[in-house]
Every structure is written in C-alpha cells, then in structure tokens.
Amino acid sequence: MRTTLAVDEKVAKNFSEIVKKKNMVIYSVTNEAINLAIELLKEDIEPDEALTFIKLMKIMDSIDVIPLPGYLNEEILNKLYSVEKDALYDTFLKTGKEVAAVFKAFMPNLIDIIKLARSLIKFFPLKKIEVEELGSKYRLLVAGAGKSPVTTNCVLYFLRGFLDGYDAKILEEKVSTGVIDVIFVKK
C-alpha cells in the first residue's frame, strides 16, 4: 500500500539530504523509521526518549560502563566498605566528577539533564527520580539508590561529584537506605 505522509518541510529536506549522503533509499529508510517508531510506542517509549537513550548509550560507551546485577554490586561495595570506607566514598566522588565531565560534552547544561530525569528512570535501576524547581534552587529525589546504607552512600557521593562537576552546590541532604533527597543550586 502506498500513502502520502505530511511532514514539516525542514524535516523532509533534512531527511532527504541525509539519506542521499548515505546512499540509501528514502522509501526503505522511511519504512524502517516508521517501524522503529511503532516498536517504541508499543514499548511505551516516546521517540524523544529513545534519542535520550541513544545519547546515554554513547556516554556509557565512552566511559566503559559495565552492567552488573544489583545483588553483585551490593556485595562488592559492602565488602570494599568493610576494608576501606573512605577510599570507597572518595572513588565515587571522583567518579561522579569524571562522569559529569563526559556528560558535559554531550549535554552541557545541567538543567537539560534534570529535565530528562523522568525519561532516565526507564534506563537505570532506580524506582523514582523527581526533580522540582524551587526558584533558583532544585530538589532532586532519588528512590531505589541502593539496598543498603553503603550503596546508598556510594550513590550520594557519586551525585555530589556529578553536581560539583556541573558547578552545582548541594545545600541540603536527606539520606536513608535507598533514598536520596537533595536541594542544590547552580554556583
């Protein structure tokens, strides 16, 4: 079946140019794009969330992320904590800063990342991420950040480093097992 699709003129022009540069066929690429959109929507993923996921995958690839089962992560971090608590937390703080530097190359504005927070929940083993703007301050609530005080504090130290990497300062912290609630401001 053939049909006519209405698209924005700029989108059509940009699409056509890119497809031609790649020596592809517009008909085939259009079908693939529509099929991809169908699959995303079936999975309850908005197309713009898929773009966020692609950016995250590029970032994760550039920092060599290794996925680990949650229980293994818990066990490793709790054992390290029993041997060298301060070094463990310092490592998470330093890593947060380093990851922020990589993120900044892809997403230079911390507020843009904050706006993506609800989409990010689908891609990380967190139960909840809430961001609330409080005038010039922001409140970030993360639930599912570890199953023990040790892993929750590792996430907290990482978050401290990450926010510092974006020149943000934490003003208040409330932490309980699995839950981090911080208020921060951009410096």
The predicted pLDDT at position 135 comes to 93
2 within domain boundaries: no
Give the Cα separation of 124 and 121 in Å (integer): 6
Q: Which residue, 155, 15, 4, is CA-closest to 88?
A: 155
Predicted structure pTM score: 0.79
Domain count, the chain: 2
Confidence of residue 14 (pLDDT cuts 50, 70, 90): very high
Q: Within this chain, do residues 101 and 145 fall inside the same structural domain, yes or no?
A: yes
Q: Which residue, 89, 75, 101, 65, is CA-closest to 156?
A: 89
Name the DSSP letter for residue 95: H
Q: Which residue has the higher pLDDT, 34 or 121?
A: 34
57 within domain boundaries: no
Residue the block writes with tokens 């990589």: 102
Given a contact cutoff of 8 angstroms between Cβ atoms, the answer to whether 183 and 172 are in contact is yes
Q: Within this chain, do residues 34 and 103 fall inside the same structural domain, yes or no?
A: no
Q: Taking residues 89-99, report their average pLDDT.
A: 96
172 within domain boundaries: yes
pLDDT, tens digit, for every residue of 115-168?
Answer: 676 666 666 677 888 888 999 999 999 998 889 999 999 999 999 999 999 999
Q: Within this chain, do residues 94 and 151 fall inside the same structural domain, yes or no?
A: yes
Give the Cα separation of 50 and 122 in Å (integer): 10
163 within domain boundaries: yes
59 within domain boundaries: no
Whether residue 18 is predicted with pLDDT greater than 90 in this model: the reply is yes
Give the Cα separation of 159 and 171 in Å (integer): 13
Q: Within this chain, do residues 23 and 78 fall inside the same structural domain, yes or no?
A: no
Q: What is the mean pLDDT of the chain?
A: 89
Q: Taking residues 85-99, report their average pLDDT.
A: 96
Confidence of residue 84 (pLDDT cuts 50, 70, 90): very high
Given a contact cutoff of 8 angstroms between Cβ atoms, the answer to whether 150 and 73 are in contact is no
Q: Where are the beta strands (DSSP E) in 105-167?
A: 128-134, 137-145
The predicted pLDDT at position 121 comes to 67
For residue 168, what are the domain limits? 69-186
152 within domain boundaries: yes
